[in-house]
Amino acid sequence: MANEYRWALIVGGTVPLLLAVVGVLGPAIMIAAFLLPVTFLVYAHDVELWEERPALTLAAVYLVVAAGASLVSLVAFRWMGEDAFAGLLFANAGHGALTGSPTGALILFGVALPVASEIVRQVGPVILARLPAFDDMIDGFTFGVASGAAYAAFETVVAFGAVFTVGLHSADAPTTWVVVILNLMIVKPVIYGAATGMAVAAFSGRGEGYDGFTPAYFGTLGLAIAANVAYWLGVRLLAGAPFGQALALLWGAVIAAVLVVRARVVLQAALLEAAVEDAARNARPRWATTDLAYCPECENALLPDALFCIVCGASVRATSIAARRHIREPAAPDSEGER
């Protein structure tokens, strides 16, 4: 299964870069913005996240996030802050650089907007995580990731809306657009998704029910907000420097990498909580193995009733329906070949 998604990301990620190189900016921006949210949506269906009700649940998350992201972004980039943002770019374009950047606009786009957007991203997932059906840590984490990735997509469409007003073809500055699209396609959604996911996971917490607005939640939310502010303030301050776009991409990649490491720790804790809870309830999850089967990731044998591979740590729950069916119902030797 993993190969399916790897190829989807590779092919889906290459297309907008090629489109940017030849100057077809509108489709490039759109595909880059939605690559991770769409992949996550399909993955959520595939692994039966959220109590086997992925379509409705994901639609609810995306609708709330789409409304919030569009509203906040329209206010920031169009209705109130269009001139301020243009002024920042004007300053960066040799009319001030760091020392000459408008302070108010810098605070608006480097601090206020990241803070507001992180708070908006929390709303939908936190509401869902209060429902008894979705009060597990894994639910909170994945709601947060979905919210962050979707917010990044809708914010990108609004903030880059001007690319649709200059005609279909522009062969200028392909390098600039490749760097920008890498940022939009990978760095921004990863930062938003990981930061929001960790915070909502802290809201869900472990144990029965959800933890709610505890000091641990506010602490993690503070970290998420700090990561967002660090990212955008860094982008804004680096934008006027030589090779500023590339430096901003590197800066974002560093923050994304740190968040991903933390998010993986949270994800592991969330998966373990779900597995232990299932074991304690003496329930047999539908994704548990039934007999000798093989890990879809590393192809080592899975123990009976395994929820994790003891070799590579892959969660059986995090594999697709198709892979799980393969675990439970292996192909015949003549079609699969000898192992």
Query: Which of positions 141-180 make contact with another protein (CB under 8 A)?
Result: 159-168, 170, 172-173, 175-177, 179-180
Binding string, residues 20-49; x marks residues near another protein by CB under 8 A: ----xxxxxxxx--xx--xx--xx-xx---
Q: Are strands 293-294 and 301-302 parallel, antiparallel or unpaired?
A: antiparallel
Rg (CA), the chain: 22
**Under the criterion CB under 8 A, does residue 83 sit at the interface with another protein?**
yes
| Distance in Å, CB of 273 to another protein, minimum | 22
**Under the criterion CB under 8 A, does residue 82 sit at the interface with another protein?**
yes
Which region, judged by CB under 8 A, interacts with another protein, from 93-101, 116-124, 194-202, 272-280? 93-101
Please, what's the b/e burial string for 283-315 (b: 16 or more CB within 10 A of its CB; e: otherwise)? eeeebbbeeebbbbbeeeebeeebbbbeeeebb
Residue 258 carries which side chain, given as an amino acid letter? V
**Under the criterion CB under 8 A, does residue 62 sit at the interface with another protein?**
no
Q: How far is residue 197's CA from residue 61's CA, in Å, rounded to a whole number?
A: 13
Residues 215-234 that bind another protein (CB under 8 A): 232
Residues 228-287 that bind another protein (CB under 8 A): 232, 235-236, 239, 243-245, 248-249, 252, 286
The site for another protein, by CB under 8 A, has a size of 99
Could you tell me the CA-to-CA distances from 49 to 127, 156, 207, 243, 302 in Å, in that order?
A: 17, 26, 19, 42, 22
| Near another protein by CB under 8 A: residue from 292, 298, 303, 311 | 292
Of 239, 161, 165, 178, the C-alpha closest to 23 is 178
Residues 102-141 that bind another protein (CB under 8 A): 102-105, 109
CB of 86 or CB of 283, closer to another protein: 86
Query: Which residues make Cβ contacts (< 8 Å) with residue 251, sequence separation at least 6?
Result: 231, 234, 235, 238
CB of 210 or CB of 251, closer to another protein: 251
